[in-house]
Structure 1
Amino acid sequence: MSVITKAIQILDMLVPQGSDKEVSVTTISRELDMPVQSVHRILNSLSEHGFVAQNQKTKKYKLGLSIMKYGFLMWDSLMFRSISRPFMEELSRHTKETIYLASRENTEGVYIDSIDSPQILKISEPIGLKLPLFIGASNRVILAYMPQPLRDAILSEADWASHPSLKPLTREYIEKDMELIRSRGYAITDGEMTEGTTGIAAPIFSYENTVIGSLNCAGPSIRFTPDNVEKYSFFVKKYAEQISKELGYRNLYRIRD
């Protein structure tokens, strides 16, 4: 049995059943048929990373705050997707293009949900696709509404010589584009992530008034005529704002220094 499997078994044993639960090393050893020394070693490692905590009086162990942190992150992600889905469906109905929901993971944007276009010619990127925040409409619109220090840090560390964009990008270009994004409330890019495609994205804000993701409409550039861009951007912004309101966002956005 691997150490990881043993650690998971120990964590499962510490899961509360209606109330806080503390378990001794000897009980864990007996119930899981593990040597006491092995249990001590695994608990020490889990404790170092906050996954378990020891009661200094009883010397028993319980689940730590790190478990709660990851649990809340997963809950937030699931809630984000479930709240956004009806609005994604409405956007799909109005545009007939592929719809993506994106969120931020450190310095990258990642697709966490999508609805494919019903048309034969369409764009279809995989869920889980990650790209730097300065590439593509769905990512750049998130970057544009992040606090200035974070934006500067991300752009300062960007590898402009070997980024994965299909088009050459510079910091100066990204800075100017983000100004435009903030002035009109949405981002639009052409052929940066996939050749011959256009994307329009608007930011989504949380109850903490911080940008947490974006709603994106994407498809073949040939269909993104000026009239359609005006139409699609209206609906993308509309439904992104409605998702934000459902998530508890109530205040007007203000860029924080």
Structure 2
Amino acid sequence: MADIAAEEGGIEILSKAGAIVDALAAAKVLTVNAIAEAVGEPTSSTYRLLQSLIAMGWVEPAPSRGTYRLGLACMQVGGVLEDSLDVRGLALPRMRELRSTADVAALLCYRRGTRAVCVERIEGHDVRSVAMQVGDSLPLHVGGAPLALLAFLPSGEQHAVIDELLAADDLPYPTPAADVLREDVARIRDRGYARSDEDVTIGIAAFGSPVFNHRGELVAAVSISGLRERLIDRESELAALVMDTAAAISADLGYEGADRG
């Protein structure tokens, strides 16, 4: 019973904290009394909860004395979610068209540190590759989408990521020499797409291209993946389709082709 009571108490506190965040999101800036009135709680308990939210970075004092607004942590999370939802939602129709035209699997990946995470995959009609399913990740030096993400990072960030990859001793795929990897990403950047030829799975090839948001920031990479004999002989045609799809998603996100470097 004590555990149930504690759980219910925790849920109630979270609910109150959520109500405070909602009130500040709607009004932008509020006093403690106004927040208490908006959430239907006593001023004293509202103040205590505000202090906890401030410590977590979800709320911060506003410039006007005695007022509060949403904190940086809350806005950062909201911005990440907004960008993620926009990218995935806008990418899906383009990915379906790409899959239909290329007749192989289409994937969407986000970068997380030195890895690329698959967040969407639309299967093709050939053999199902188990190399990159939704939720799986690959290091950025292998695979069509991961290499595209690596190649189009801002130069300083790219150098740091490459150094980290080269220093790692537990990667499941061989890491090329530093000069070879840097030359490879430079070629990818020049031609606009990455080429993966059996570096992840024997018999499987992939082409990937970067996606940018309205601020010109690299947010994802779209790729196709399938049997090597179905892709390599059509590289020029299929790579152009992938680049066109990535460009269309970027345009849907408001990207206008500003400098990527």
User: TM-score, normalising length from structure 1?
Assistant: 0.82
1:163 to 158, 171, 180: 171
2:16 to 10, 13, 22: 10
Q: In the TM superposition, what whole-angstrom CA distance separates every residue of 1:133-185 from its partner, at most 9, and x where no partner exists?
A: 223220111111112111111111223432122x4433232112112102211
1:199 shift after superposition: 1.1
1:83 shift after superposition: 1.3
Cα distance in 2, alignment partners of residues 51 and 149 from structure 1: 30
RMSD across aligned positions (CA): 3.1
- AA aligned to 2:19 is M
Unaligned runs of 5+ in 1: none
Q: In the TM superposition, what whole-angstrom CA distance separates every residue of 1:51-100 from its partner, at most 9, and x where no partner exists?
A: 12346988576543322221121111111111111111111011111100
Moved more, 177-186 or 190-199: 190-199
Counterpart in the other structure of 1:241: 247
Give the number of the structure whose residues are more often helix, by fraction.
2
State the identity as a percent: 23
1:81-96, aligned counterparts within 5 Å? Answer: 81-96=88-103
1:216 shift after superposition: 0.4
Counterpart in the other structure of 1:232: 238
Cα distance in 2, alignment partners of residues 61 and 208 from structure 1: 29
1:59-98, aligned counterparts within 5 Å? Answer: 63-98=70-105
Counterpart in the other structure of 2:59: 52
Cα distance in 1, alignment partners of residues 247 and 197 from structure 2: 23
Distance 1:169 1:4, change over 3 A: farther
Cα distance in 2, alignment partners of residues 210 and 18 from structure 1: 28
Query: Do the aligned partners of 1:138 and 1:187 also contact (CA within 8 Å) in 2?
Result: yes
Cα distance in 2, alignment partners of residues 22 and 129 from structure 1: 45
1:44 shift after superposition: 3.4
Counterpart in the other structure of 2:3: none
Unaligned runs of 5+ in 2: 1-5
Distance 1:23 1:114, change over 3 A: farther
Counterpart in the other structure of 1:212: 219
1:136-175, aligned counterparts within 5 Å? Answer: 136-158=143-165, 159-165=167-173, 167-175=174-182
- AA aligned to 1:161 is D
